[in-house]
Structure 1
Amino acid sequence: MAEISRPHFNAAYEKGLMGVSCRVGDYRRIEIATTGQQVVDYTRCGYLNLDSHPRVLAAARAAADEIKSVHFSVARTRLSAEPLARLESTLSNLFQVNGVVVFPTVAAANMGALPLLAAGLFTGGVKPLIVFDRFAHVTLQYHIPVLREETDVIVIEHNDLEHLERLCQSHPLVAYVGDGAYSMGGAAPVRELRSLQDKYGLFVYLDDAHGISVVGKRGEGFVRSQLSGLDHRTVVAASLGKGYGAAGGMLMLGSHDIENAVRRYAPTYGFSCAPSMASVGAALASAEIHMSEELGMLQRSLHQNLALFDHEIPTETIGSQLPIRIYRIGNEERAIATGEYLLERGHYVSVVFFPTVPRGEAALRMAVTAAHDPDDIRELSALLRAREGEEAVETNGVAVVGSDEAAPALV
């Protein structure tokens, strides 16, 4: 994999498309530190611009003063700062679940929870067959070798419900692991998975890092908004960064037994793995915004920009409320050249290539936010038309599902 992708990584770094250091301005504009160039940024995932909200920033600064510490360096199984307990209680009420456990990152949440799932601690002592979606994020699939020490693990094609149902029919207990909103576009079939839960007792673990806050009346996310409740057969991991606008990760839990297992046995819960006090303060402030009318206003601004983007730059996910758009180019060198072309003209996008997507399916990945200026989106569209021609605009899309060379998403 490294030998195949190294030339493209080298080219992307050399052309200033990766490893960029910046200073942040308004309306998703950044200044590239090495050149001073001002560009519109489509790479950061602060979908509602809460990461720049004055109340969130002020709360982050105040939290460390309140607790008189930047980081509460102690195992959480022994001692926790009161604001962290307050945050977990606030999030449980906000998202209407039995419990929420907060982690420094979503990756840490997954690292702590998935081995417990494999060991049967989430399923009454019965070790499930664990089934991964082929496009599940790398921070999920990274743990497969560890999980296989406890139970059987297989990987199926993306959103292959027929295969999943056959496995449910032939195994006493199956646990499905995937993304809620996929980082390279598209989403999990949540209602169909719920049907398999009702029919076969399927356990579902979904990482909704990109769906949180942008969907739902209270920002409960793409997954939680489609479920009337969260029961003992469902765990939703999510980000406290991205759309939520603070920092950290969390597990939404529908069972106190699962919560107890996480708090006692997840290694990333204990061992000095608490979030920083600044991130806790920021998350509490963001929760207040989530409970106000302001959240709906920000969501509407995002959806207006998504509608404009879809009109100007149609992609396979046209009409989706989720904020990631993928513009396929195909050839890796051409995609890198297009990214460089846009950067030179003031627009910075993510150029994605193998192993993030299959070979020959290189693309531009754009995170649309509530703070983007509509005129900037129109200019991006005009630049893409000028670069690729009308035919490319009409035929762009996402990575081909089921390619033998597709890898877990790395972004």
Structure 2
Amino acid sequence: MAKIKHNNFLDTVNEVFTDAKQEGVLHLYAEGDTFSGRTIGVGNRQLYHFGTTGYLGLEQDPRLKAAAIDAITKYGTQFPLSKSYISNPLYKQLEEKVTDMYQNPIIITKNSTLGHLGVIPNAVNDRDAIILDHQVHWSVQSAAKVLKNRSVTIDMIRHNDMDMLEKKIKNHSNKHQRIWYMADGIYSMYGDYAPLSDLKTLALKYPQLHLYIDDVHGMSWTGKNGTGYALGELGSLSENVLLFGTLSKTFGASGAVLVCSNKKMYQEIKTFGGPLTFSAQLEPASVAAATASAEIHLTPEIHELQNDLRERIQYFNSLLENTELPLIDKNNSPVFFIGTGMPKTGYNFVNRLMKEGFYVNLGIFPAVPVKNTGVRITISRHNQKQEIKALVEAMVYHYPKALEDTHTNALRVNQAFKRDVKPNKIVASNHTVKVQLEDSITKIDKALWNTLQGNQGVFDWEGLEFLENTFSNNPLKEHNWKFWYLMIYDQNQHPILSTYFTLGLWKDDMLADVSASQLIEKTRKTDPYYLSSLVLSMGSLFTEGTHLYIDHEHPLKQEALNAMMQTMETLEKQCHAKMIVLRDFSENETLHPYFQGQGFVRVQMPDSCKIDLKARETIEDYGAKLSSRNRQHLRKEILAYEPLLKIDILKSCNADQLKQVEALYNNVHQNNLGLNTFPFPEKLFKNMSEHPNWEFITIGLLDSPDKMIGVMLCYNNGGHTYVPSFVGMDYSYLTEYYTYRQLLYQTIKRAIELKFKHIDLGMTASFEKRKLGAKITEKYAYIQTFDNYTLEFMSILELNGSTNTA
């Protein structure tokens, strides 16, 4: 099969960020001639600043400012040399002060991102393995992925899942010298902590385990001498721990710091640490400001500053306790996250708070799953208690209004974050439309369904009845699907929207790169359900086409869409699905802004291939329309071989023929990891043989008339569309007789003979189908995931697969 195209993760991120930028909540510019830290200028207004990561306010400390100004006066704006040659005169004092803080050897880096790029490739050798917490900062993940060039194994666990981590450690312990677990000390979105006590226990149990902790958000505001949360929890720094802190953010200056008690590793990193060697060193002003800050950290004053901040944090927590605002993780860090669920609710809430006079951050994909969008609020010493109280009052007032404006409610938000919600606070659904939800197509009016949905694919009324019978009462769980049919009407019973959903077990790597699927399938030989999840999908894995009918001109279209969303979310919760998938949509889908605002990200699917036929057209007429190059292809590789083959149209098959059909289908399925799905149940082929709408186009050899070398399984959609749903082939004859191309040609020939208007050639192999006149259309799906783990883990596996490591 031809290689399919895969979604570009950066394209998805760009779409989400562009949407947020257009809503006026990202990529803003601060305004004003001065900056105090207490307020920030945005849109010609001064807003109270609740978005800083300078939690102690040291960036505005007059001692740091004076030191920076003096350094510029004495040494200039920069010291343009690599530190490998010579450091500027101020560096030595800074290194001494920071060493005193940590009581361990340290290395100053330009920033944490360059620091990780310098340290990780030096600390991790080719015999090691890396396990990433899936919420560890992007800069750590990016630096770790560089090691795929050296074939270092990289793995990933769900956020703070210590049971999963221990299983991964056991799995890697016999293959690798050291196992590095990389995590944040304090996570930047929810303000939650790494379970360092549990990690210490695991490190004692498994001596191979080494910890790499990025604690830049835990720095200064906590810990002895402001050395951060992680060191405070660990107590001391053992040789199996590398710790990153920051000289920016709360520290008030610029740069980052690596702390390493392993003398040998310390010397290796310091001697040659990639960007540490070749990047420019910190500017004199930054070094001087950092030294002034370090001096404060080494005095009791730092604990006074910490206590001052802690009092504000506790005050904010106490105020939130008396509200019903959905605080996602209650803790004592300066970072708070109020969940909004859908991005468009987040946009609305942030804009409302800015109009009220408060600047806050939007937490959005990929930092959090799209449907876990929310507002990140940070508390600093700049914030006065009256301003903190005013912010809470503003949030209490505006939060329900943001929900109402964006047609959502507290139930949906809490479901998105897997939180309980008080029943009396659930907002009632809109009753302007009538919702009919059935679990069988037999409960839906046949004529109405076929009018709305019946002219394409295998999901006319008869086709869906066939699918229900086929995907039920099977011995394997992946062969049993649940079906729901959604009809939404206005008060006059006029249909506004219709679609159907299936719940089934999907392979998480269905659209991943082939290299990732090859790795995963090795594990599935002993663990068949490894990396598989229950998915609630519009349509099904068996069907392709426009699964959503909507009357775009109806005045209640928006209400119908909202009702569909709430229906899906209810089904998702009831069935414990890990993902919702909406498919198949075009690139210029008019509902794109709506789906994105509801917490879905768009991913590219394999191309769709269709042929439209003219009335009274013959196969000769059809061939004559092809380009000269494609006509030549038709003559040489298809028509020349047609007389050598036995081609039959079977309306039903005997037992031997069914066995051959299944074997040929399995050959193709096993060879097509580009669209990796579970195989279909055995009874599918028997049901096809007994159903009047199915037929089999078979290819055999003249000298072996009973042996099939290829088969196309075709569905008759009420005389409207001919659907060659699946193909089967014996690959040993593929190049000799061009079997696949012959099957495509015979499908077109059969559809013309039966006087169909359309042929739905399905997905994949678009190059081959285009040569026979198919129209190729890019198709997209919209997905909403339980969390980002699967999406990120697939990218890790693709890296591993590209270097052929397990």
TM-score w.r.t. length of structure 2: 0.47
Is 1:342 equivalent to 2:347 in the alignment? Answer: no
1:321-354 deviations in Å (ceiling 9; x for gaps): 3211111010111110110011111111111222
The structure that has the greater radius of gyration is 2
Partner of residue 213, structure 1: 220
Instruction: Map 1:234-245 onto structure 2 (within 5 A).
Output: 234-245=241-252
Say whether residues 1:405 and 2:788 are aligned partners. Answer: yes
Separation of aligned partners in 2, 1:199 and 1:156 = 19
**Deviations along 1:264-296, whole A, 9 cap, x unmatched?**
221111124311111100000001111222211
Q: Could you say which residue in structure 2 is the equivalent of 1:370?
A: 381
Aligned partners of 1:228 and 1:30: how far apart in 2? Answer: 38
Contact 2:132 2:181 in 1 (8 A): yes
Are the counterparts in 1 of residues 189 and 363 from structure 2 also a CA contact under 8 Å?
no
Deviations 1:349-385 (A, max 9, x none): 1112222211211100111112201111111111111
Give, in whole Å, the separation in 1 of the partners of 2:48 and 2:359. 6
Alignment partner for residue 178 of structure 1, among 173, 176, 183?
Answer: 183
Task: After TM superposition, give the deviation of residue 162 of structure 1 in Å.
Answer: 1.5
Of structures 1 and 2, the one with the larger relative CO (CA 8 A, separation 6+) is 1
Q: Does 1:229 align with 2:266?
A: no
Structure-1 separation of matches of 2:144 and 2:203: 23
CA distance in 1, matches of 2:11, 2:279: 37
CA distance in 2, matches of 1:27, 1:80: 32
Matched, 1:21 2:29: yes
Q: What residue is the counterpart of 1:200 in the other structure?
A: 206
Q: Provide the C-alpha distance between the structure 2 equivalents of 1:29 and 1:363, rounded to a whole number of angstroms.
A: 22
State whether structure 2 residue 147 is matched by structure 1 residue 147: yes
Deviation at 1:70, TM superposition (A): 2.4
Deviations 1:90-123 (A, max 9, x none): 10111221x1111111111111111112326xxx
Partner of residue 49, structure 2 = 41
Q: Secondary structure at the match of 1:188?
A: coil
Q: Which residue of 1 aligns with 2:584?
A: none
Pick the aligned partner of 2:92 from 66, 85, 92. 85
Give the deviation of 1:2 after TM superposition. Answer: 4.7
Question: SS at the partner of 1:101?
Answer: strand
Aligned mates of 2:13, 2:238 — CA distance in 1? 42
Name 1:115's counterpart in structure 2.
Answer: 121
What is aligned with 1:358? 369
1:12 is aligned, of 11, 20, 31, to: 20
* Residue 180 (structure 1) shift: 0.7
Following superposition, the deviation at residue 89 of structure 1 comes to: 1.8
1:134 partner letter = H
Letter paired with 1:115: P
Cα RMSD after superposing both structures: 2.4
Offset at 1:388?
A: 2.0
Gaps of 5+ in 2: 1-8, 322-326, 402-408, 419-577, 579-784, 793-806
Aligned residue identity for 2:85: R
Within the candidate set 95, 103, 106, 1:100 is matched to: 106
Question: SS of 2:362's equivalent?
Answer: strand
Once the two structures are TM-superposed, the CA of residue 242 in structure 1 deviates from its matched residue by 1.1
Answering whether residue 397 of structure 2 is matched by residue 386 of structure 1, we say yes
Structural mapping, 1:128-167, within 5 Å: 128-150=128-150, 151-167=152-168
Letter in 1 for 2:198: E
Which whole-Å CA distance do the structure 2 matches of 1:146 and 1:2 have between them? 17
| Structure 1 residue 27 displacement after superposition | 5.4
Query: Sequence identity of aligned pairs in percent?
Result: 25
* 1:250-289 equivalent positions in 2, closer than 5 A: 250-289=257-296
Could you give the per-residue CA deviations for residues 247-268 of structure 1, whole angstroms, max 9, x where no partner exists? Answer: 1111011122122111122111
Distance 2:60 2:133 in 1: 34
In 2, distance between residues paired with 1:261 and 1:357? 36
Cα distance, 1:36–1:396 mapped onto 2, change above 3 Å: farther
Task: Determine if the alignment matches structure 1 residue 190 to structure 2 residue 573.
Answer: no
The amino acid of 1:169's aligned partner reads: K
What secondary structure sits across from 2:242 in the alignment?
strand
Once residues 386 and 84 of structure 1 are traced to their aligned partners in structure 2, the CA distance between those partners, rounded to angstroms, is 50
| Kept after mapping to 1: 8 A contact 2:123/2:265 | no
1:332 aligns with 2:343: yes
| Cα pair 2:328 2:339 within 8 Å, conserved | no
**Equivalent residues of 1:358, 1:399 under 8 A apart:** no
What is the letter of the counterpart of residue 166 of structure 2?
A: E
Report how many aligned residue pairs link the two structures: 396
Q: Secondary structure at the match of 1:214?
A: coil
Q: CA deviation at 1:8?
A: 4.3
Instruction: Label 1:71 to 1:397 Cα distance change in 2 as closer, same or farther (>3 A).
Output: farther
**For residue 135 of structure 2, what is the amino acid of its counterpart?**
F
Offset of 1:244 from its aligned partner? 0.9
User: Which runs of structure 2 are paired with 1:57-68 in the superposition (5 Å)?
Assistant: 57-66=65-74, 68=75
Instruction: Kindly indicate which of the two structures has a greater share of residues assigned to strand.
Output: 2
Whole-angstrom CA distance in 2 between matches of 1:311 and 1:392 = 21
Instruction: Identify if the C-alpha distance between structure 1 residues 396 and 69 changes in structure 2 by more than 3 Å, giving closer, same or farther.
Output: farther
Name 1:124's counterpart in structure 2.
none
Q: Is the 8 A contact 1:329 1:362 kept in 2?
A: yes
Whole-angstrom CA distance in 1 between matches of 2:90 and 2:414: 46
- SS of the equivalent of 1:181 reads coil
Q: TM-score, normalised by structure 1?
A: 0.90
The SS at the match of 2:294 is helix
1:27–1:373 Cα contact (<8 Å) kept: no
SS of the counterpart of 1:274? coil
